Amino acid sequence: MTTTTTTPPQVRPQTAPAEIPEVPLTTEGYSVLHQMMRFRWTAWRALSDATRSSIAQEAATVLGEMEQGSPKQGSAGQSALFSLIGHKGDLMLVHFRNSFAELNQAELKLTSLRLSEYFEPTSSYLSIIELGLYDSTLKIYKELIAQGIQPHSEQWKAEIECKLARHREAMHPRLFPEIPPNRYICFYPMDRKRGEDKNWYTLPIEERARQMSDHGLVGRRYAGEVKQIITGSIGFDDWEWGVDLFADDPLVFKKLIYEMRFDHVSAVYALFGQFYIGVRCPAASLEKLLSGELPK
Protein backbone atom coordinates (compact mmCIF):
# COMPACT_ATOMS: atom_id res chain seq x y z
CA MET A 1 0.00 0.00 0.00
CA THR A 2 1.37 3.37 -1.06
CA THR A 3 0.92 6.37 1.22
CA THR A 4 0.64 9.73 -0.50
CA THR A 5 1.78 12.78 1.40
CA THR A 6 0.14 16.04 0.39
CA THR A 7 1.82 19.38 0.95
CA PRO A 8 -0.47 21.98 2.48
CA PRO A 9 -1.00 25.06 0.30
CA GLN A 10 1.26 28.00 0.98
CA VAL A 11 -0.50 30.70 2.96
CA ARG A 12 0.69 34.19 2.08
CA PRO A 13 1.30 36.27 5.19
CA GLN A 14 -1.21 39.08 5.68
CA THR A 15 0.29 42.53 5.58
CA ALA A 16 -1.29 44.92 8.02
CA PRO A 17 -2.56 48.09 6.34
CA ALA A 18 -0.22 51.02 6.81
CA GLU A 19 -1.35 53.47 9.43
CA ILE A 20 -1.85 57.11 8.48
CA PRO A 21 0.85 59.22 10.20
CA GLU A 22 -0.46 61.59 12.85
CA VAL A 23 1.70 64.63 12.03
CA PRO A 24 0.09 67.12 9.60
CA LEU A 25 2.17 68.59 6.82
CA THR A 26 3.16 72.26 6.82
CA THR A 27 4.84 74.68 4.46
CA GLU A 28 7.04 77.49 5.75
CA GLY A 29 7.98 80.95 4.54
CA TYR A 30 9.56 84.03 6.10
CA SER A 31 11.37 83.82 9.42
CA VAL A 32 9.79 86.30 11.85
CA LEU A 33 11.05 88.16 14.91
CA HIS A 34 9.02 90.38 17.23
CA GLN A 35 11.02 92.68 19.53
CA MET A 36 9.21 94.41 22.38
CA MET A 37 10.99 97.11 24.35
CA ARG A 38 10.62 100.01 26.71
CA PHE A 39 12.11 103.38 25.88
CA ARG A 40 14.24 105.28 28.41
CA TRP A 41 12.23 108.47 28.18
CA THR A 42 13.90 110.23 31.14
CA ALA A 43 17.41 109.77 29.71
CA TRP A 44 16.17 110.72 26.25
CA ARG A 45 14.62 113.99 27.40
CA ALA A 46 17.85 114.92 29.18
CA LEU A 47 19.57 115.23 25.79
CA SER A 48 19.71 118.49 23.89
CA ASP A 49 17.23 119.07 21.08
CA ALA A 50 20.01 118.89 18.50
CA THR A 51 21.33 115.56 19.83
CA ARG A 52 17.87 114.01 19.95
CA SER A 53 17.20 115.12 16.39
CA SER A 54 20.52 113.73 15.12
CA ILE A 55 19.99 110.35 16.81
CA ALA A 56 16.39 110.09 15.61
CA GLN A 57 17.28 110.98 12.03
CA GLU A 58 20.05 108.37 11.94
CA ALA A 59 17.64 105.71 13.21
CA ALA A 60 14.87 106.80 10.85
CA THR A 61 17.19 106.39 7.85
CA VAL A 62 18.16 102.84 8.82
CA LEU A 63 14.61 101.84 9.80
CA GLY A 64 13.35 103.32 6.53
CA GLU A 65 15.66 101.02 4.58
CA MET A 66 14.53 98.04 6.66
CA GLU A 67 10.91 99.07 6.23
CA GLN A 68 11.25 99.01 2.45
CA GLY A 69 13.32 95.83 2.29
CA SER A 70 16.18 97.81 0.75
CA PRO A 71 18.91 95.84 -1.04
CA LYS A 72 21.33 97.70 1.21
CA GLN A 73 20.19 95.34 3.95
CA GLY A 74 21.38 92.38 1.90
CA SER A 75 18.11 90.46 2.16
CA ALA A 76 14.49 90.31 1.18
CA GLY A 77 11.80 90.97 3.74
CA GLN A 78 10.75 94.00 5.70
CA SER A 79 10.62 95.50 9.17
CA ALA A 80 7.88 97.59 10.76
CA LEU A 81 7.74 99.74 13.88
CA PHE A 82 4.72 99.97 16.19
CA SER A 83 4.01 102.12 19.23
CA LEU A 84 2.68 99.75 21.89
CA ILE A 85 -0.35 100.59 24.01
CA GLY A 86 -0.16 99.74 27.72
CA HIS A 87 2.49 98.73 30.24
CA LYS A 88 4.07 95.81 28.32
CA GLY A 89 6.39 98.09 26.39
CA ASP A 90 6.69 101.29 24.38
CA LEU A 91 7.81 99.96 21.01
CA MET A 92 7.53 96.75 19.01
CA LEU A 93 9.59 95.95 15.93
CA VAL A 94 8.42 93.19 13.59
CA HIS A 95 10.92 91.70 11.14
CA PHE A 96 10.21 89.37 8.18
CA ARG A 97 13.37 87.80 6.70
CA ASN A 98 14.47 84.81 4.62
CA SER A 99 16.33 83.09 7.47
CA PHE A 100 17.15 83.21 11.16
CA ALA A 101 20.64 84.43 10.24
CA GLU A 102 19.09 87.43 8.49
CA LEU A 103 16.91 88.11 11.52
CA ASN A 104 20.05 88.16 13.61
CA GLN A 105 21.57 90.67 11.18
CA ALA A 106 18.49 92.88 11.64
CA GLU A 107 19.01 92.73 15.42
CA LEU A 108 22.68 93.62 15.07
CA LYS A 109 21.86 96.48 12.72
CA LEU A 110 19.60 97.98 15.38
CA THR A 111 22.23 97.63 18.12
CA SER A 112 24.63 99.70 16.01
CA LEU A 113 22.29 102.70 16.24
CA ARG A 114 22.87 105.34 18.90
CA LEU A 115 19.14 105.13 19.58
CA SER A 116 19.58 101.54 20.87
CA GLU A 117 21.16 102.96 24.04
CA TYR A 118 17.63 104.01 25.01
CA PHE A 119 16.01 100.61 24.34
CA GLU A 120 15.26 98.20 27.19
CA PRO A 121 14.06 94.84 25.80
CA THR A 122 11.00 93.47 27.60
CA SER A 123 10.25 90.45 25.42
CA SER A 124 10.74 88.92 21.99
CA TYR A 125 9.23 86.15 19.89
CA LEU A 126 10.90 84.00 17.22
CA SER A 127 8.86 82.01 14.71
CA ILE A 128 8.37 81.23 11.02
CA ILE A 129 5.35 81.82 8.78
CA GLU A 130 3.49 78.53 8.54
CA LEU A 131 0.57 77.19 6.54
CA GLY A 132 -1.04 74.12 8.11
CA LEU A 133 -2.30 71.54 5.61
CA TYR A 134 -4.65 69.28 7.55
CA ASP A 135 -7.09 68.62 4.68
CA SER A 136 -4.34 68.21 2.08
CA THR A 137 -2.35 66.02 4.46
CA LEU A 138 -5.08 63.40 4.76
CA LYS A 139 -5.60 63.33 1.00
CA ILE A 140 -1.88 62.98 0.29
CA TYR A 141 -1.30 60.31 2.94
CA LYS A 142 -4.23 58.20 1.74
CA GLU A 143 -3.15 58.45 -1.90
CA LEU A 144 0.38 57.33 -1.12
CA ILE A 145 -0.77 54.44 1.07
CA ALA A 146 -3.19 53.34 -1.67
CA GLN A 147 -0.20 53.20 -4.03
CA GLY A 148 1.52 50.83 -1.59
CA ILE A 149 4.15 53.34 -0.53
CA GLN A 150 5.33 52.69 3.01
CA PRO A 151 5.06 55.71 5.36
CA HIS A 152 8.41 57.32 6.18
CA SER A 153 10.25 55.35 3.47
CA GLU A 154 12.59 57.18 1.12
CA GLN A 155 10.00 57.01 -1.64
CA TRP A 156 7.37 58.38 0.76
CA LYS A 157 9.62 61.30 1.71
CA ALA A 158 10.38 62.08 -1.93
CA GLU A 159 6.70 62.08 -2.89
CA ILE A 160 5.82 64.30 0.07
CA GLU A 161 8.56 66.81 -0.77
CA CYS A 162 7.43 66.94 -4.40
CA LYS A 163 3.87 67.75 -3.37
CA LEU A 164 4.99 70.32 -0.78
CA ALA A 165 7.22 72.02 -3.35
CA ARG A 166 4.21 72.54 -5.61
CA HIS A 167 2.22 73.89 -2.68
CA ARG A 168 5.03 76.30 -1.71
CA GLU A 169 5.11 77.64 -5.24
CA ALA A 170 1.34 78.12 -5.36
CA MET A 171 1.22 79.71 -1.90
CA HIS A 172 4.31 81.93 -2.29
CA PRO A 173 2.40 85.21 -1.70
CA ARG A 174 1.06 83.87 1.61
CA LEU A 175 4.38 82.39 2.72
CA PHE A 176 6.41 85.49 1.82
CA PRO A 177 4.00 88.41 2.29
CA GLU A 178 4.64 92.08 2.76
CA ILE A 179 3.97 93.30 6.28
CA PRO A 180 0.39 94.60 5.97
CA PRO A 181 0.23 98.42 6.00
CA ASN A 182 -2.79 98.59 8.35
CA ARG A 183 -2.73 101.07 11.22
CA TYR A 184 -3.09 98.54 14.08
CA ILE A 185 -1.46 95.25 15.01
CA CYS A 186 -2.51 92.58 17.52
CA PHE A 187 0.11 89.94 18.31
CA TYR A 188 -0.25 86.98 20.69
CA PRO A 189 1.30 83.52 21.12
CA MET A 190 -0.78 80.40 21.73
CA ASP A 191 -0.63 76.67 22.49
CA ARG A 192 -2.82 73.62 22.12
CA LYS A 193 -3.52 71.84 25.41
CA ARG A 194 -1.39 68.80 26.23
CA GLY A 195 -2.77 67.98 29.67
CA GLU A 196 -4.03 64.70 31.09
CA ASP A 197 -7.68 65.66 30.63
CA LYS A 198 -7.56 67.38 27.23
CA ASN A 199 -4.67 66.68 24.86
CA TRP A 200 -4.88 67.97 21.30
CA TYR A 201 -2.04 65.72 20.19
CA THR A 202 -3.80 62.50 21.15
CA LEU A 203 -6.80 63.18 18.91
CA PRO A 204 -6.88 61.25 15.61
CA ILE A 205 -5.65 63.32 12.69
CA GLU A 206 -9.07 63.11 11.03
CA GLU A 207 -10.71 64.73 14.08
CA ARG A 208 -8.07 67.44 14.28
CA ALA A 209 -8.57 68.17 10.58
CA ARG A 210 -12.34 68.47 11.06
CA GLN A 211 -12.00 70.85 13.99
CA MET A 212 -9.43 73.01 12.21
CA SER A 213 -11.70 73.24 9.18
CA ASP A 214 -14.54 74.54 11.36
CA HIS A 215 -12.10 76.92 13.06
CA GLY A 216 -10.99 78.36 9.73
CA LEU A 217 -14.55 79.21 8.73
CA VAL A 218 -14.70 81.86 11.47
CA GLY A 219 -11.57 83.63 10.27
CA ARG A 220 -12.75 83.68 6.67
CA ARG A 221 -15.83 85.65 7.69
CA TYR A 222 -13.50 88.53 8.65
CA ALA A 223 -11.37 88.35 5.50
CA GLY A 224 -12.21 91.87 4.36
CA GLU A 225 -11.59 93.47 7.75
CA VAL A 226 -8.44 91.86 9.12
CA LYS A 227 -5.26 90.30 7.75
CA GLN A 228 -4.04 87.28 9.70
CA ILE A 229 -0.54 85.80 9.59
CA ILE A 230 0.14 82.57 11.52
CA THR A 231 3.68 81.63 12.49
CA GLY A 232 4.97 78.34 13.88
CA SER A 233 7.32 78.42 16.87
CA ILE A 234 7.55 74.85 18.16
CA GLY A 235 11.21 74.39 19.03
CA PHE A 236 11.91 78.11 18.54
CA ASP A 237 10.14 79.84 21.43
CA ASP A 238 8.08 79.19 24.56
CA TRP A 239 4.72 78.82 22.79
CA GLU A 240 3.71 76.76 19.77
CA TRP A 241 2.36 79.43 17.43
CA GLY A 242 2.29 83.18 17.05
CA VAL A 243 -0.65 85.10 15.61
CA ASP A 244 -0.42 88.53 14.00
CA LEU A 245 -3.62 90.39 13.15
CA PHE A 246 -3.56 93.64 11.16
CA ALA A 247 -6.54 95.99 10.78
CA ASP A 248 -7.48 99.65 10.46
CA ASP A 249 -10.13 99.31 13.19
CA PRO A 250 -8.84 97.57 16.35
CA LEU A 251 -12.38 96.63 17.39
CA VAL A 252 -12.25 93.81 14.85
CA PHE A 253 -9.55 92.09 16.97
CA LYS A 254 -11.98 91.76 19.86
CA LYS A 255 -14.85 90.56 17.67
CA LEU A 256 -12.80 87.98 15.78
CA ILE A 257 -11.03 86.50 18.80
CA TYR A 258 -14.23 86.48 20.85
CA GLU A 259 -16.14 84.63 18.14
CA MET A 260 -13.32 82.14 17.65
CA ARG A 261 -13.41 81.21 21.32
CA PHE A 262 -16.84 79.69 20.77
CA ASP A 263 -15.65 77.15 18.22
CA HIS A 264 -14.72 73.75 19.64
CA VAL A 265 -10.98 73.74 18.99
CA SER A 266 -10.50 77.07 20.79
CA ALA A 267 -13.02 76.47 23.58
CA VAL A 268 -11.52 73.09 24.52
CA TYR A 269 -7.90 73.03 23.40
CA ALA A 270 -6.53 76.60 23.09
CA LEU A 271 -4.24 78.42 25.53
CA PHE A 272 -3.33 82.08 24.93
CA GLY A 273 -0.30 84.12 25.94
CA GLN A 274 0.02 87.88 26.37
CA PHE A 275 -1.60 90.19 23.84
CA TYR A 276 0.30 93.13 22.36
CA ILE A 277 -1.60 95.94 20.63
CA GLY A 278 0.32 98.56 18.67
CA VAL A 279 -0.16 101.52 16.35
CA ARG A 280 1.92 101.64 13.17
CA CYS A 281 4.66 104.26 13.08
CA PRO A 282 6.36 104.77 9.70
CA ALA A 283 10.11 105.21 9.97
CA ALA A 284 9.82 108.71 8.54
CA SER A 285 7.72 109.68 11.58
CA LEU A 286 10.12 108.28 14.19
CA GLU A 287 11.41 111.69 15.32
CA LYS A 288 7.83 112.88 15.79
CA LEU A 289 7.03 109.76 17.83
CA LEU A 290 10.06 110.30 20.06
CA SER A 291 8.91 113.85 20.71
CA GLY A 292 5.69 112.45 22.15
CA GLU A 293 3.42 112.79 19.11
CA LEU A 294 2.04 109.72 17.37
CA PRO A 295 1.66 110.37 13.62
CA LYS A 296 -1.90 110.22 12.30
Q: How confident is the model at residue 217 (pLDDT cuts 50, 70, 90)?
A: confident
Per the residue annotation, which of 184, 188, 222, 276 is the catalytic one? Answer: 188
Is 159 a member of any domain? no
Is 107 a member of any domain? yes
Is 220 a member of any domain? no
Is 287 a member of any domain? no
For 58, how many CA atoms within 13 A lie in the half-sphere containing its CB? 14
Contact 218, 263 (CB under 8 A): yes
Q: How confident is the model at residue 181 (pLDDT cuts 50, 70, 90)?
A: very high
pLDDT digits 0-9 by tens, 165-178: 999 999 999 999 99
- Domain residues for 44? 27-129
Contact 274, 40 (CB under 8 A): no
CA 68 to centroid of chain Cα atoms: 21
Is 171 a member of any domain? no
The mean pLDDT of the chain is 91
pLDDT of 102 over the 60 cut = yes
Quick check: is 188 catalytic? yes
Could you give the percent of the chain with pLDDT greater than 70?
92
Is 104 a member of any domain? yes
pLDDT digits 0-9 by tens, 193-207: 888 789 999 999 999
Could you give the percent of the chain with pLDDT greater than 90?
79
Domain tally for the chain?
1
Is 117 a member of any domain? yes
Residue 73, domain CATH: 3.30.70.1030
Is 218 a member of any domain? no
Q: How confident is the model at residue 8 (pLDDT cuts 50, 70, 90)?
A: low
* pLDDT at residue 76 in the model: 80
Name which of 199, 203, 176 is nearest 31 in CA terms: 176
* pLDDT at residue 293 in the model: 82
Contact 25, 142 (CB under 8 A): no
pLDDT digits 0-9 by tens, 63-89: 999 999 744 444 589 999 999 999 999
